[in-house]
């Protein structure tokens, strides 16, 4: 059978597919536009497409691929880039790549951002590099301790639970969480406390986002949510950019109504700012730490994603139910 991979991924996944099927790999390390994607798959009779979260797969792309297309294997944990309803109507399986390796990597990056923002690490680095350090000063770059803080997690899936291990068990922080599905067993095991979304936002010193991007979570953090948060609170986003109303956060930061924002994802990604013509810019603020969507960027995690993405395709093409169906 024939498989199309939209851009290079770790070799381990490609080799798994090549052992049993014919693989066409888009060699350029760039994102294909919708027009290019359609041209790449039209009349090629691919049975499977291994795509990335940066590939928008809608009904037009699926139509161009043809009725023989059986599976869209997303090299990502999220799958907001794929039209799930359209795929369901066409009986195309959509799979993703959640794993322990990815959960740990993203949780570690999340925790790194929490600590870096709390202790003003990036700001201090810039300060020292600029030659501004003139000697020890008791008031220089005062940050926040972590151990006595309340951390609020919006979303308690695999990644959220790994964050809990580090915040609660490693640093002794109080952890609140909100999720559509309450996990009583995990509460008992870990000492985390369930809270309503409103209570969590009001009481947390650090709010970290771990929900998928859905219509219901788009702009979950809005002006309304920010007004509930402490003026000293820190916001962390390693989930998806549009979960946060970036303009609302920027206004809160400029008005000193939010303590800081650390993000690995952007609302208008890959653009850093949605509106470059206005006065509000993330990159101008010392209270902002940005990383370019690298929360899962470890060799172990990326190899695990490649193996899972490939195995999902192999399972579907052999008539098996893949381990990770996007829902």
Active-site position among 7, 293, 302, 324: 293
Q: What is the tens place of the pLDDT at every residue in 30-81? A: 888 899 999 999 999 999 999 999 999 999 999 999 999 999 999 999 899 9
In a domain, 326, yes or no: no
Is 241 within a domain?
yes
Domain match, 144 and 214 both: yes
Co-location of 286 and 137 in the same domain:
yes
Report DSSP letters for 291-326, one per residue.
Answer: --S-TT-SHHHHHHHHHHHHHHHHHHHTTPPPS-B-
Taking the model in full, what pTM does it have?
0.90
Please state the domain count of the chain.
Answer: 2
Active-site residue, 181 included: no
The answer to whether residue 322 sits within a structural domain is no
- The question of whether 269 is a catalytic residue gets the answer yes
The CATH number assigned to the domain holding 17 equals 3.40.50.720
Q: Is residue 275 part of a domain?
A: yes
Active site residue 168: no
Does residue 323 lie in a domain region?
Answer: no
The answer to whether position 256 is within a domain reads yes
Report the alpha-carbon distance of residue 26 to residue 165 in Å, rounded: 39
CA 33 to chain centre: 21
Regarding whether 223 and 165 lie in a shared domain, the answer is yes
User: Looking at residue 228, what is its pLDDT?
Assistant: 98
Q: CA torsion sign, 289 to 294 to 300 to 304?
A: positive
**Bond prior to 270 in cis (omega within 30° of 0):** yes
Residue 135 class from Cβ within 10 Å (0-12 exposed, 13-18 middle, 19+ buried)?
A: exposed
Catalytic pick among 240, 267, 302, 324 = 240
Q: Which of 187, 269, 281, 307 does the annotation list as catalytic?
A: 269
What gap in Å lies between CA 13 and CA 166, rounded to an integer? 31
Are residues 183 and 248 located together in one domain of the fold?
yes
Looking at the fold, whether 134 and 174 belong to one and the same domain comes out as yes
Residues 51 and 163 in one domain: no
The pLDDT value given to residue 282: 93
Tell whether 79 and 113 lie within a shared domain: no
Q: What is the pLDDT of residue 326?
A: 86
Say yes or no to pLDDT of 260 above 90.
yes
How far apart are the C-alpha atoms of 19 and 307, rounded to whole Å?
Answer: 13
Q: Quick one: 43 and 138 in the same domain?
A: no
- Do 283 and 172 belong to one domain? yes
The gap between the terminal CA atoms of the chain, to the nearest Å, is 26
Same domain, 117 and 228: yes
Least Cα distance to 6 among 23, 25, 22, 20 occurs for 25
In a domain, 238, yes or no: yes
Which band of pLDDT confidence, cut at 50, 70 and 90, is reported for residue 278? confident
Find the domain containing 87 and state its range: 2-96+299-317
| Mean of the per-residue pLDDT values of the chain | 95
The answer to whether residues 116 and 166 belong to one domain is: yes
Q: 244 and 160, same structural domain?
A: yes
pLDDT surpasses 80 at 327: no
- Residue 240 falls inside a structural domain: yes
């Amino acid at each position: 059978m024939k498989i199309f991979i939209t851009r290079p991924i770790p070799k381990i996944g490609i080799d798994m597919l090549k052992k049993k099927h014919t693989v066409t790999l888009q060699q350029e390390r760039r994102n294909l536009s919708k027009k290019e994607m359609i041209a790449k798959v039209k009349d090629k009779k691919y049975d499977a497409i291994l795509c990335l979260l940066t590939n928008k797969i809608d009904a037009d792309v699926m139509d161009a691929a043809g009725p023989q297309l059986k599976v869209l294997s997303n090299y990502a944990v999220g799958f907001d880039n794929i039209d799930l309803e359209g795929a369901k109507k066409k009986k195309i399986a959509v799979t993703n790549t959640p794993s322990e390796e990815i959960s740990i990597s993203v949780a570690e990056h999340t925790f790194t951002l929490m600590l870096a923002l709390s202790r003003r690490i990036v700001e201090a680095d810039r300060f020292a590099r600029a030659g501004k350090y003139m000697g020890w000063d008791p008031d220089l770059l005062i940050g926040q301790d972590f151990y006595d803080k309340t951390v609020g997690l919006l979303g308690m899936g695999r990644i959220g639970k790994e964050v809990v291990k580090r915040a609660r068990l490693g640093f002794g922080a109080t952890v609140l969480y909100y999720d559509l599905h309450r996990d009583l067993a995990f509460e008992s095991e870990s000492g985390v406390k369930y809270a309503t979304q409103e209570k969590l936002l009001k009481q947390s010193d650090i709010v970290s986002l771990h929900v998928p991007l859905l219509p219901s979570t788009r702009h979950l953090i809005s002006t309304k949510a920010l007004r509930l948060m402490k003026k000293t609170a820190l916001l962390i986003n390693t989930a998806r950019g549009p979960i946060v109303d970036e303009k609302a956060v920027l206004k809160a930061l400029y008005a000193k109504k939010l303590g800081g924002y650390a993000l690995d994802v952007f609302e208008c990604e890959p653009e850093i700012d949605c509106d470059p013509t206005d006065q509000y810019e993330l990159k101008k603020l010392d209270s902002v730490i940005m990383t370019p969507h690298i929360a899962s960027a470890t060799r172990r995690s990326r190899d695990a994603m490649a193996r899972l993405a490939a195995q999902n395709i192999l399972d579907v093409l052999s008539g098996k139910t893949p381990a990770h169906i996007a829902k």
